[in-house]
Structure 1
């Protein structure tokens, strides 16, 4: 969960993005307690934007949130403290992705003195502080106070000195900026602190920061993967679903031709250039087409920037997954949870002497940037309940966005230079792939902090796309009896499983009276949008339970697409408001296998359920799109609803074959 202490969240809170203004960590506490009615959440602002002062303020806010929770043995809310390690590589061989680091305790001795950034020492820009302060004062003098606040914020960060390298983390100055460029260094520093923590890979398949060709193989090593801390993976957030692997060309090395299910942006770049050729079949035209495709390949995460004057609609649905549920924008197949469960590393062994592999539990989260954890309880108020952002009006778009995004320059194709600023302003297409967030659920023995942490650590967790779906998934015949989701077992007989699920309670309009009394009408409207988690008495129906079976690689290079059966079984449910119970077994079990289940709720309208709302011609080719813009081009009261099957994902059960090859 991000507050406006994260620098990108601060930026998107400004009027230029039709933002709402500041949302500090205290808002996350009130939203969790009164708007979304959560049992627990964590604060994870970007480490690179947290100097010591903001880190301490966040800790104080989280402590205050817990202090109001009542009996520590049965609190109404548990708030955890953490940060996000936000690493992005421009090439697949340097990209590790984002990870949320969470700690169980809140005392000074239970938390690190400072967060750990992925920005290397010396890698953060340091504009002169005096010039920035003067600029901030000037902005306030001409009525641009929010922008002056942003400049002051950046100036504060620039004044923090980098920590010296090669010094144990506990011996570093309290107020320096600590960094770890790789997961190996991050885990090393966490070990030096000697504190329990969970490190959760987050938003991995999101193609806005993961370059084409990025794969989880890169960090599957004993150096970059610590299985004692890295126990969970996020498969769904407000930035989309990163569960589903698709065997489409990743476009990292060459530009793939269109297939019935996929259109690459590099290919579309060539077609757009061909459309404006005076002689479409000429050698000169084809040379320009090939040049555009290569430039789009070279552009990494920004292929559409090679033709800066071409608007989003003309790119159709390039690089997007057409048959995924609430997909992440520009989904990277090699970064998905399914891909991670299927791969092994054969030149490194785990503690049991077996080829190294991931054994993650599955969670979902919100990743909201306005202090609103778990906004998926209702599908309403898209601009407030998602991270959808864009120009407030046409004049702002022309004056600012067109200039920043290079729309006034060469028509292209042009070579795209790395630009974090341009990437931050390129929000309009992405807004069709932003959702009210998911939620994580735990099977815990109590509501207290220790019980919740124990369930997270033991992988007795599942994720939902937002609704409070109930889910149990058990192995019935483990060597020592029944075992829950998240378990790891070795056995020789046919595994037998049971799934029990119940749909989320149907929502009543408005908010409970207790929320109104606690927040007051004005704050309830601003923070909650006038709506809260307000469950009624009846449940949504469960339509089906799908079983996904993944058989991890037995040798290096074994094709991953052949190892993922999705779905392996689809088990229909009768329309029973009490829920659904099914059993199944795998008579073909003969090798190490991963099983998890996906519970599908009856179809209901969802924000961005149809993403770009693509139209297709008679041949099945994309012919037009109708994006759900974050700015003025889509009315604020249009929630871009389309029917979907909201769902829950269990954590896998890892069943290794006894006395058989891996």
Structure 2
């Protein structure tokens, strides 16, 4: 175990040198090297020009996040990285118990990880947790520590603690009871935990030639608009980062976040580089991918804002604990056959008779009460990007794909269906995890049994170093999985050899004759040409994986009336292979594949029309986590969700690749 570093002593040193700022913005300065030694990265022993696969977690919360802290989580960034490396970690005891702590450990360590604690309320947690602070004995801080619950029911005490710091559901002004009238006391207090986050990342990053484990400095920007999720995970390339993480309390729109990151990182004349990853678009009521340019007065202003978003947001999180955000059937002006696999891991029941937002956005996405918008889903966000490219010449939604967990126990990578221990101090017992619905005040509605363990991010990079992994993320050579370590490759071109799957040089041929996932197809060879795609996938051979059933290509485009179209092609394997699972024993039955490979040409290609393609790799059916846990309970102790026909008993785990784009010649700049 490496030496731990606590922020409490550093906080006093940081604040003792802090000058009183004239304005709040003075605290959020340009990037600079950290006040500690940073190890120089050595050349990695394992370096593959055709790139290796690396699995990791890009969305992890610790006790520094106000919500995790309120839910009783005590694990810190150091603990999160130790867990990702394979060390055991202690999880909170069941609520209102003083014993029964649980120990969890990964069977397979991760290759990389990022702690992304909420920037919002980062200073408030310090102020309320540090004896001697001027607000420590305030009514708000006492309630946050659970000392005065103000009439809340005992079983809701953890929610009361969280709401002590939150004035309303959306990004709120800082609480003067904790932060002072101008809020600067809490901004100053952010310095300590921000330094702890940086130190932990540096401590655990392996800069030796072994390159066994890579970390990045990061945080979460947690904006809500009309109770709609607009959150982003912000990840930095190296140790040179801004003086403080800008939160939704300072930057009240995504555009304000992008401008801040541009000013204080990208254009800071330092080595700082950064990307932001939108997540939980399924909670956004269409706001995440809605095309809007606040403050733009001219077409040139719109183009500039679209280019900035494209520069800063190369990736999107397609799945996590709070559900799948890929697609949903039956939405406004989405034409094409229904996609049977769109019902996967939805927080809102697929058959729910909800109102369609059509071309507008809704209110209450995080409360699961809004209208349902096609722009809450990644697939239609990608197609919306094609529409914007046709309109202004820039695609602001050219998004690669990853998956993550949003785990609030500091246990990133704990995504197996069997043995799921929950994702926060809220769900410590099976009975908690199997609840049908929890109202989180006026902020959100949670459906624990419809939640899931989350997924993993996959990156194709030459080596496991910060520079190599970050560069791969920027070029979008990434994929996401729903948990298993499925390994997909996806290349697009015009003249792939038909026997690519038979040789041992699949990747070499892919790079030589085309572009990998995340790339753009080169110009067409002529009006009679159609793109060719080379796809390969390996199953997760561990107990966490099942045999592969099929590979699909998902295609999206826009017609002349602005309507969205989708087509799903099965290109390898067999959907009707007879595979099944016994839900009483969770024993899998039927045949599947250890590997699937195909060279496939689009039979419906139109050279005059922009298109976006991505691959989806699907396993045979297996038991869902809730089925495992229901089976472990005595029949008399099983909650109603165990017999609810609307709660899936089985799932088909999967992987999604980043897209490959085709831009018609007339659209190119």
Normalised to the residue count of structure 2, the TM-score between the two structures is 0.59
Tell me whether 1:334 sits opposite 2:375 in the alignment: yes
1:602 partnered with 2:620: yes
Contact kept, 8 Å, 1:387 with 1:435, in 2: the verdict is: no
Aligned residue for 2:518?
Answer: 486
- Aligned CA distance change for structure 1 residues 62 and 495 (closer, same or farther; 3 Å): same
Give the CA deviation at 1:486. 0.5
Q: Determine if the alignment matches structure 1 residue 652 to structure 2 residue 662.
A: no
CA drift of 1:4 comes to: 1.9
- The residue matched to 1:217 in structure 2 has which SS? coil
Deviations 1:571-592 (A, max 9, x none): 3259575411112101321121
SS in 2 for 1:545: strand
When the two chains are superposed, the root-mean-square deviation of aligned CA atoms in Å is: 3.9
Whether 2:64 is the aligned partner of 1:47: answer no
1:188 is the counterpart of 2:259: yes
Aligned length: 441
- CA apart distance, 1:388: 7.9
Cα 1:348–1:248, aligned 2, differ >3 Å: closer, same or farther? closer
1:627 alignment partner, SS class: helix
CA–CA distance in structure 2, aligned partners of residues 243 and 68 of structure 1: 33
TM-superposed CA distance for 1:612, in Å, is 12
Aligned position for 2:410: 371
Secondary structure in 1 matching 2:615: strand
Deviation at 1:118, TM superposition (A): 1.1
Q: Counterpart of 2:423?
A: 386
| Inter-partner Cα distance in structure 1 for 2:219 and 2:329 | 31
Residue aligned with 2:281, SS: coil
Kindly indicate whether residue 238 of structure 2 is the aligned counterpart of residue 105 of structure 1: yes
Residue 496 of structure 1 is matched in structure 2 by 532
Is the 8 Å Cα contact of residues 493 and 522 (structure 2) preserved in structure 1? no
What CA distance in whole angstroms lies between the structure 2 residues aligned with 1:454 and 1:47?
A: 25
Match of 2:220 in 1: 84
User: Deviation at 1:7?
Assistant: 1.2
Question: Secondary structure, in 3 states, of the residue corresponding to 1:582?
Answer: strand
Match of 2:555 among 549, 554, 561: 549
**Shift of residue 626, structure 1, vs aligned partner:** 3.8
Q: Deviations over 1:520-541 (max 9, x none)?
A: xxxxxxxxxxxxxxx8xxx742
Provide the C-alpha distance between the structure 1 equivalents of 2:67 and 2:570, rounded to a whole number of angstroms: 42
Question: Which of 596, 599, 606 lines up with 1:583 in the alignment?
Answer: 599
Q: CA deviation at 1:246?
A: 2.7
5+ residue gaps, structure 2:
1-59, 87-104, 124-187, 294-301, 334-348, 357-361, 432-436, 497-511, 578-590, 632-638
CA distance in 1, matches of 2:642, 2:65: 25
**Distance in 2 between the 1:347 and 1:440 partners?**
27
Q: Secondary structure at the match of 2:224?
A: coil
State the match for 2:452 in structure 1. Answer: 435
| Greater shift in the superposed pair: 65-74 or 227-236 | 65-74
Name the counterpart of 1:397.
none
Counterpart contact for 2:310–2:395, Cα < 8 Å: no
Instruction: Give secondary structure in 2 for the equivalent of 1:451.
Output: helix
For residue 514 of structure 1, what is the aligned residue in structure 2?
A: none
Report matched runs for 1:513-592 at 5 Å. 540-551=546-557, 553-555=558-560, 558-560=562-564, 563-565=565-567, 567-572=568-573, 578-590=594-606, 591-592=609-610
- Give the SS at the match of 2:61: coil
Q: 1:245 to 1:30 in 2, by over 3 A?
A: same
| Gap change, CA 1:55 and 1:237, over 3 Å in 2 | farther
Conserved in 1, the CA contact under 8 Å of 2:190 and 2:244? no
Describe the SS at the equivalent of 2:327.
coil
Structure 1 residues 192 and 58: CA distance shift in structure 2, 3 A: closer
CA contact (8 A) 2:325 2:376 kept: yes
Aligned pairs for 1:143-292 within 5 A:
179-193=250-264, 194=268, 195-206=272-283, 210-211=284-285, 214=287, 216-219=289-292, 222=303, 223=305, 226-248=309-331, 262-264=351-353
Q: State the secondary structure of the residue aligned to 1:117.
A: coil
Task: State TM-score, norm by structure 1.
Answer: 0.59
Q: Output the CA distance in 1 between the equivalents of 2:241 and 2:652.
A: 40
**CA separation in 2, counterparts of 1:334 and 1:364?**
18
Which residue, 328, 332, 343 being the options, matches 2:384?
343
2: CA distance, partners of 1:655 / 1:45 = 37
TM-superposed CA distance for 1:104, in Å, is: 1.1
Q: Which runs of 5+ in 1 are unaligned?
A: 14-20, 120-178, 251-259, 268-296, 305-318, 320-329, 395-401, 406-419, 508-534, 614-624, 635-639
The answer on whether the counterparts of 1:66 and 1:78 sit within 8 Å (CA) in structure 2 is: no
